[in-house]
Amino acid sequence: MKPFLFLGTRAEDDVAQQEYDAVLAGCGLRPDELVRVRLEERPLGDVDLDDWSGIILGGGPFNMSDPDDAKSPAQRRAEAELHALAVRVVEADVPFLGACYGIGVLGTLDGGVVDRTYGEPIGALPVRLTEEGRTDPLFGALPAEFAAYLGHKEAVARLPDGAVLLASTDTCPVHAFRIGRNVYATQFHPELDPVAICDRIDAYSAHGYYEPHEQEQLKAAAREALVTEPVRLLARFVELHAR
């Protein structure tokens, strides 16, 4: 099997490792089958799309809608590299699954708009599949409605031209979409479990996702939520695209 490529952007070593480990476990892959590149540490370099079964992009604190003068050099570089990669991926219809940050990377292509109109606080919310989502080869593996962990400042306000809406919440119209047959983005985090989201709440306490007095309350609510279905996307992505 050709390996999958995992792209991360988290600068915090513990959280970056936890995210990779969770995606690895959800995919059912070995480390040599899910090769990681941390874009906050080094340039992406040349990517031969034919070398990979597919590409998975993790989440992180980068936002496309951040003011340009507030973006670090690493963020500006990662955005440029990911945009160039996304254009190639869409053109070749290479299997791609972008979680959280994938919304920003894919959502700004071809007339799409990503802004702060539909941000949602950290927590677990019910996500509902559209009719297209229920019949989609990847998302059709999930129930028509399921709970997912999320928390984001920005979201898609207008889908890219030709994109297919797959999932929504009451407070965010675009929670997942597909471009072509094989290129996907989700606003929610499919890999998260209660321990991981609590660790991220702690790790990003200074990033403006919540007020300091809300920290323990958010963690308590995350522990009480029953989130079991989103992780199935990862194994299904591998099942569909391993080659």
Catalytic residues: 100, 189, 191
Query: CB count, 10 Å around CB of 63?
Result: 22
**Residue pointed to by tokens 């990377």:** 105
Distance CA 115, CA 92 (A): 27
User: Cα–chain-centroid distance for residue 4?
Assistant: 16
Phi, psi of 62 (to 5 degrees): -70, 140
Q: Give counts: helices (H), strands (E), the chain.
A: 7, 11
Beta-ladder partners of 120 = 152
